[in-house]
Structures are given as structure tokens and as C-alpha cells.
Amino acid sequence: MVCDFMLIPNRDGAEIDSPLDLLPLPNGTWDGKIAYLDRDGVLNVGSENYINSPEELVIFPNTANSVAALRESGFRICVVTNQSPIGRGFWSHENLHNIHNKLRELLLSENPNAHLDLILYSPYAPWEGAWARKPNPGMLEAGRQIISASEKNIEIKLRFDNDWIDKPDESDSIMVGDRDVDMRAAFNFGVKGIRCNPEIGISDVISEILGD
Ligand SMILES: [Mg+2]
């Protein structure tokens, strides 16, 4: 499929390149590593028929503690989720925003350090060939540039694919997903992919990530 480089990610609650206010990490300064996290089957229970409303969203046991543990060990958190129901015309960006507000609320109610720094999503249908849609790396590319620019307090100027020439080292970063498409996106971006059991979610792999 030919990729459409104009179809770039969307950002929950804001324009893609508007400034991002980052909360301090629990244990001090950031050393550059990002945990790119798929959503369904990683943070919350997935569904063959999509998560269509805030009421349908159920987080896995220990998701909040796992996200908090990542932040406590210095990772910024960037959710990267394909959400084709928008492009298929099933429901709106606003509906997805409400689902993400519920996700943030559930996580923080279980652990105040379970903060999601950034949520990016691809609203496009599969046949649109979007650069944003996993297995393409557009969301990861945008996530890195948004978080790095915001940490430095400089303007966000997004570049994609070969137009982005000063890609930083991602050897301390990770991408967690439950499907092949996530592992392919990780490979295409150049970050280590870690696959979790879709029935367990991120807590399945947290000790592998943190090495304890
Ligand atoms: Mg998934």
C-alpha cells in the first residue's frame, strides 16, 4: 500500500503541534526514554467490536501501577492507538476524547503517578493508507518530537519519515503492544517492541521492562 504522508496522527484534547505541558516525573529529570504504549489489550481490555463508549472501558488489574512504575523509573508515557471507527464513520473524535478522559480518570484513581503524558491516535480507516496508522511509525515519530520539544520548551515542528533528519537514539525506549501490528510499528520506527498477553495487559511485561 502506498502511504499517505499527509494523514498524520491526531492528539487527544489538543492540536497535534500545540504546546504540551508535561508534569514532572516522580523521581526527577527525564533522561530521554519514552514508553510508547498501545491502548486496547495493553492498558484496557480490548474488544473485537472496538471500545465504543466510556462505559465500555475497563482497565486491567495493575495497569495503573505499571504505568506509574514506568514513570517512576524515568519513562515518559505516550499512548499510540489505532482508532479506525472514526474514519469508518461509526463515531466522533469527541466520543474518543470522552473515552480517553475516562481512561485517565480510572488510572489516576488507582495510582496518582499513573499519568499519561500524551495520547496520540490514528482516526483513519485501513484503506486510507495513513502514515499515522500502525504498522506505520507516524504516531511514534510524532510522540518523540512532541515530548522532546516540550521538555526543551521549544516549538513543535513535526517531520515525518525521511523529512525527519535528526532522529534521537531510542535504545532506552520501548513500545508495548499486544498485536503483530504494534511490533511492526516498533520495528519501522526503530524501537524495541515488547509484546504482552492481550488477556493480561502491560503488567504481563513490566518486570521484563524494568528488569526486576
Ligand atoms: Mg491492542
- The model's pTM is 0.97
Report residue 1's pLDDT band, with 50, 70 and 90 as the boundaries: low
**From the CA of 16, how far away is ligand 1's center (Å)?**
22
Which residues have CB less than 5 Å away from ligand 1 (the ion)? Answer: 38, 40-41, 178
Largest Cα separation within the chain, whole Å, is: 44
Q: CA 180 to CA 7: how far, in whole Å?
A: 22
Q: How far apart are CA 97 and CA 122, in angstroms?
A: 13
CA distance 53 to 68: 25
Catalytic positions are 38, 40
pLDDT in tens, 81-117: 999 999 999 999 999 999 999 999 999 999 999 999 9
Q: Is 212 a residue whose pLDDT tops 70?
A: no
CATH code, residues 10-210 = 3.40.50.1000
Q: What are phi and psi of 203, to 5 degrees?
A: -65, -20
159 Cα–ligand 1 center, Å = 26
